Amino acid sequence: MSDVAQALVKEGYKYGFITEIDEDRAPAGLNENVIRFISTKKGEPQWLLEWRLGAFRRWQRMQEPKWANVHFAPIDYQAASYYSAPKQKATPKSIDEVDPELLKTYAKLGIPLHERAALAGVAVDAVFDSVSVATTFKDKLGELGIIFCSFGEAVREYGDLVRQYLGSVVPQGDNFYAALNSAVFSDGSFVYVPPGVRCPMELSTYFRINAAKTGQFERTLVIADRGAYVSYLEGCTAPQRDENQLHAAVVELVALEDAQIKYSTVQNWYPGDAEGKGGIYNFVTKRGACRGARSKISWTQVETGSAITWKYPGCILEGDDTVGEFYSVAVTNNHQQADTGTKMIHLGRNTRSTVISKGISAGKGQNTYRGLVRVQPNAANARNYTQCDSLLIGQKCGAHTVPYIEVRNPMARVEHEATTSKISEEQMFYCRSRGLSQEDALSLIVNGFCKEVLKELPMEFAVEAQKLLSVSLEGSVG
């Protein structure tokens, strides 16, 4: 490795600071009392407590999934605390009452929490450790009937809606991590867009893990009613710590007739240091249901962070003529491991899905695309196109592709293509001979490789994602 590259490797993760703040936290360990504690803290109705306990009882009988191509020391689920909240005197009525330390943290992260930063034009729900600390632009959205609030608030204010949709896409016992989340989830975001309303701004959640020895278990529920449209962004960071922290989130999307949901994620949890010490275990279940005819759900993700990523955002194409999309860039550098992909389940007629996955492995990273395209017997004229490309940088990394194709209808057309390549010396030489530095050349080539995915991101995010890609890969050539 060149000196420049070495120096860049050391630059590392710039969101790794810790905020000193008083917190409320549950004692370490997980049992029914802890779940009752969380539920009481949040003032939840009885049905939700029972739902949590049901999930917990299922979780106790479940085994951690072993099939993913990731390796890590066993997790002691009893060692972590399942609830941590920054201490506040009372629920803040406006943004001015929020603890200034918190606001400073978000300022450092570049999140325009303050409504004065309205120019950014993004409504933000910020989740700090376990609870939502502030939601902006609420009034403006309220005028259109759009609900955008923390999950806790939604349970209090819109209990019926939550009850109707919670667990309808990702059931309590869906998988080990989803069951854990269903039992202990602390907060998250809730979005409801009423019929025919096009949400005028991007909605965004910013997740931040701050406290040590905690996990983060947020839950997001987005419902687009008939003919509605919403674009939702999600970003995340965490402090740099030597221990591994668990992040097990659940995201459920429901699109009714003619509705569209666009869900974008830039995931930049702390990936661990160059030796693979520390970092977030990102075990996330994300799924969208295209319930109504002609609805559309589109997932876009840029995964640069986390020590381990285990995540398969999927679409259940129930309605006729529904569309599912998945665009992904996953980067693994140093000792990062990612096993990610999508599931497209075609149930309705004329359903279409597109999967574009770009995996980049550098250092000792291991990157796996794992995907399922299933066409059920009634899904006449279903159409899928899948493309997964891997880019290898260096000789110690690995790239893996594990797609499953299951077709039970003769009128379906399913196409899958995968390629693996490296950055060619010719490409490098061409860029270098035009005066680009090695790092800039790499960044240019990688951004070109990911272009098809990055163009799906809303603009503010695309810029951030491009920068992240460059930072994540610094020091990987030379």
Partner 1 sequence: MAAIKAEAVPYRDAFRANPAEPAWLVDARAKSLAAFGERGFPSRRDEAWRFTSTRPLAENFFVPVRRDLAVTANEDTDFGKLGFEGPAYRLVFANGIVRALPSKLPPGLWLGSMSQAISERPEAAEFAISEIDLGGTQPFASLNAALFADGFVFDLDEGVALDRPIEIVHLGKSALPTSIYLRNSVRIGAGSEATVIETYVGQGAYWDNVVTNIAVAEGASLTHIKLQDESREAVHFASARISLGWSARYRNFGLTLGANLSRNDIQVLLGKGAHANIAGAYLQRGDQDTTNAVVIDHAEPDATTQELFKGVLDERSHGAFLGTIRVREGAQKTDAKQTSRALLLSDRASVNIKPELAIFADDVKCTHGAAVGDLDKDALFYLRARGIGVDEARRMLIEAFLLETIDTIESPEVREHLARQVRRWLAAEKA
Choose the stretch contacting partner 1; rule: CB under 8 A; options: 154-162, 193-201, 239-247, 409-417: 409-417
Name which position in 132, 204, 401, 466 contacts partner 1 (CB under 8 A). Answer: 401
Smallest distance, partner 1 to C-beta of residue 94, A: 53
Smallest distance, partner 1 to C-beta of residue 366, A: 9
Q: Between 202 and 339, name the residue whose CB sits nearer to partner 1.
A: 339
Name which position in 34, 224, 412, 465 contacts partner 1 (CB under 8 A). Answer: 412
Helices and strands in the chain, H and E counts: 12, 24
Site size toward partner 1 (CB under 8 A) is 35
Q: Does the protein bind partner 1 through residue 478 (CB under 8 A)?
A: no
Residue list 231-250, contact with partner 1 (CB under 8 A): none
Closest CA to 118 of 134, 137, 105, 104: 137
Name, in order, each residue with C-beta under 8 angstroms of 109's C-beta and a sequence gap of 6 or more. 15, 206, 208, 237
Closest CA to 250 of 193, 133, 167, 327: 167
Name which position in 96, 417, 437, 448 contacts partner 1 (CB under 8 A). Answer: 417
Number of Cβ within 10 Å of residue 166's Cβ equals: 24
Q: Does the protein bind partner 1 through residue 395 (CB under 8 A)?
A: yes
Q: Does the protein bind partner 1 through residue 390 (CB under 8 A)?
A: yes
Name which position in 3, 20, 63, 67 contacts partner 1 (CB under 8 A). Answer: 67
What distance in Å separates the CA atoms of residue 152 and residue 219, rounded to the nearest whole number? Answer: 10
Q: Does the protein bind partner 1 through residue 394 (CB under 8 A)?
A: yes
Q: Does the protein bind partner 1 through residue 415 (CB under 8 A)?
A: yes
Q: Does the protein bind partner 1 through residue 422 (CB under 8 A)?
A: yes
Q: Does the protein bind partner 1 through residue 407 (CB under 8 A)?
A: yes
Closest CA to 113 of 280, 252, 235: 235
Question: Facing residues of 202 across strands?
Answer: 122
Smallest distance, partner 1 to C-beta of residue 335, A: 15
Smallest distance, partner 1 to C-beta of residue 322, A: 20
Name which position in 168, 240, 354, 409 contacts partner 1 (CB under 8 A). Answer: 409
Q: Which amino acid is at 347?
A: L
b/e map of 122-140 (b: 16 or more CB within 10 Å)? Answer: bbbbbbbbbbbbbbbbbee
Question: Cα-atom radius of gyration of the chain, to the nearest Å?
Answer: 22
Dihedral (Cα; 311, 446, 298, 340), 10-degree rounding: -10
Name which position in 109, 399, 446, 469 contacts partner 1 (CB under 8 A). Answer: 399
- Which residues contribute to the site for partner 1 (CB under 8 A)? 67, 375, 377, 390, 392-422
